[in-house]
Structure 1
């Protein structure tokens, strides 16, 4: 694999993790209504810690890399950091804001990784 494929794999993995955050936030509560044991797992605080522990470093590593000697645009980095911040707000913020913040953060981070993937492909 060349460096472009490695970078694309990073962004693809990060977009998949954003999708996992969305699934956790939107689908697991529905499953939890049908299966109470799954509902308890869906609301467990450790799940949020694990997802943030994977998402934040992967996002920084994937978005902040130089491609052919050029750093990413500041707007791309700001979008990525805003997405991670919203995910953290959803995971650790006040009760009641978790769904909206997590959905907004995962979508924002997904868009940042898509932008970065397109930037790499154009290089």
Structure 2
């Protein structure tokens, strides 16, 4: 089974690819999926330290993908990244097991801080 630092799930392909490149420059290995079903399939094929999940996906809403991720791999760290999330979405995602809820445009330094804090907590 392959191991990656991050799985990026976002239907905005250019945004997802750019984010993967920017994180790659920080020596993080990334896999990108552009819809929820593909992301769920990726969980069977690879392990991820962190999953960055958009809420607005073409096939499944992000909260449904989050629920399926947590059902299959309860210990996976999931960070919600959205341009359209509401306070209600934030509360639902955090209650369902998301570790953080971030708005686009992504502040990469904030993401890295969150990831480092999670890594420190699990060590």
What range describes the TM-score normalised by the shorter chain of this pair?
Answer: under 0.3
Which TM-score applies when normalising by structure 1? 0.28
More strand as a share of residues: 2
More helix as a share of residues: 1
Which TM-score applies when normalising by structure 2? 0.28
* Max Rg structure: 1
